[in-house]
Amino acid sequence: MQHAKVISIERDNKDVFTLVFDSKISAEPGQFIMIWVPGGKEIPMSLSSTSNPPAITFRTFGETTRTLATLKPGDRLFFRGPYGNSYPRPTGKVAYVGGGTGLASLNSMILKYDGDVFAGARTKDDLFLIKDGYKVATDDGSLGFKGTVVDLFVPHLSEYDYVFVCGPEPMVKTLIDRLDKKTKTRIFFSLERLMKCGIGICDSCSINGIRVCKDGTIFELQEVLKMTEFGISRRRESGKIEFFATAKR
């Protein structure tokens, strides 16, 4: 277990926060850490910046993240990691496609490599880390394109050499279903699954025997296409298979 002092914590929108912490961890964009709230739970979290000092950006959705949001500068942040592989270094024209809190993981790349950013959310109030020039989609049309970020991005795919995608599994599945599978664009996905250990031993996050935490979290399109469970089913905490509501079975 490592610990680091909190340098700052800022509110990005009504329930998203960015926490910068004083640590010299050597992490690459796309990697994650396991954050522990003493006396509470431990959860995986992508780094939204891997420079020095590093940062995490998170949505408060449970007790652990709500507790994290109450930390003050000088408080200790407990974590282990970094874990997982990282986004590859891109060449040529680059695009980033983020939905949900996916932009947090992609932000670590955006800070290092220029590219066009496509960001989606339900409403403009759910957006975060948005900068001038980003292409925005909202479900209700309250800002930017009315529709999903998948609708917004897919027509532009062939304009790019490298694309990096991070978002909820149903969104990523929709994107993959609508892609030209023979595209010459190299597309990489950061996948999200229930994780307990983060180090590749507990099997909670596995998809068709592929461990998201250790073999990923970053996979190229061809690897994801081989995962027949992707976007269809996942595991509960017990290991029982449950199907996505959006899955066509």
Partner 1 sequence: MASISTKVGNFSIENPVILASGILDETSGSILRSLRSGAGAVVTKSIGISERAGYPTPVISEIKTGLLNAVGLPNPGIDNFVEEYKEFPEKKRTVVSIFGGSVEEFVTLSRRVEAAGFDKVELNLSCPHVQGVGSEVGQDVGLVEDIITEIKRRTNLQIWSKLTPNVTDIISLAKASEKADALVLINTIRAIGVEIYSRKFVLSNVVGGYSGPRDKTCCLAGCVRCLQGNREGYSWGWRNYNMGRCN
Of 105 and 206, the one with the shorter C-beta distance to partner 1 is 206
Restricting to residues 177-196, which ones interact with partner 1 according to CB under 8 A?
196
Q: Tokens 């595209």 — which residue?
A: 183
Segment interacting with partner 1, rule: CB under 8 A, options 11-19, 41-49, 93-101, 137-145: 41-49
What distance, in Å, lies between the first and last C-alpha atoms of the chain? 42
Say how far apart CA 37 and CA 42 lie, in whole Å.
6
Q: Considering the rule CB under 8 A, would residue 235 count as an interface residue with partner 1?
A: yes
Q: Considering the rule CB under 8 A, would residue 111 count as an interface residue with partner 1?
A: no
Looking at the DSSP bridge assignments, the partners of residue 188 are 164, 220
Whole-number minimum distance, CB 74 to partner 1, in Å? 13
Token pair of 198 as six digits: 């983060």
Restricting to residues 64-83, which ones interact with partner 1 according to CB under 8 A?
76, 78, 80
Whole-number minimum distance, CB 134 to partner 1, in Å? 34
User: Strands across the sheet with 218-220, in order?
Assistant: 145-146, 135-138, 116-121, 94-98, 162-166, 186-190, 218-220
Segment interacting with partner 1, rule: CB under 8 A, options 85-93, 148-156, 161-169, 234-242: 234-242
Say how far apart CA 107 and CA 96 lie, in whole Å.
9
Of 120 and 198, the one with the shorter C-beta distance to partner 1 is 198
Segment interacting with partner 1, rule: CB under 8 A, options 36-44, 45-53, 97-105, 128-136: 36-44
Q: From the list 82, 204, 213, 231, which residue makes contact with partner 1 (rule: CB under 8 A)? A: 204
Q: Tokens 């000088």 — which residue?
A: 74
Q: Are 98 and 117 in contact (CB under 8 A)?
A: yes
Q: Considering the rule CB under 8 A, would residue 200 count as an interface residue with partner 1?
A: yes
**Which residues, other chains included, contact 133 with Cβ-Cβ below 8 Å and sequence gap of 6+?**
116, 117
Number of residues that bind partner 1 (CB under 8 A): 34
Say how far apart CA 4 and CA 178 lie, in whole Å.
43
Q: From the list 59, 135, 193, 211, which residue makes contact with partner 1 (rule: CB under 8 A)? A: 211
Q: Could you tell me how far CA 95 lies from the centroid of its own chain? A: 15
Say how far apart CA 32 and CA 79 lie, in whole Å.
10
Of 189 and 230, the one with the shorter C-beta distance to partner 1 is 230
Report the half-sphere exposure of 41 (CA within 13 A, side-chain side). 13
Q: From the list 11, 201, 220, 226, which residue makes contact with partner 1 (rule: CB under 8 A)? A: 201
Q: Are 68 and 136 in contact (CB under 8 A)?
A: no
Whole-number minimum distance, CB 108 to partner 1, in Å? 23
Q: Considering the rule CB under 8 A, would residue 199 count as an interface residue with partner 1?
A: yes
Q: Which residues bind partner 1 (CB under 8 A)?
A: 1, 3, 34, 36, 38-39, 41-43, 76, 78, 80, 196-197, 199-204, 206-211, 229, 235-241
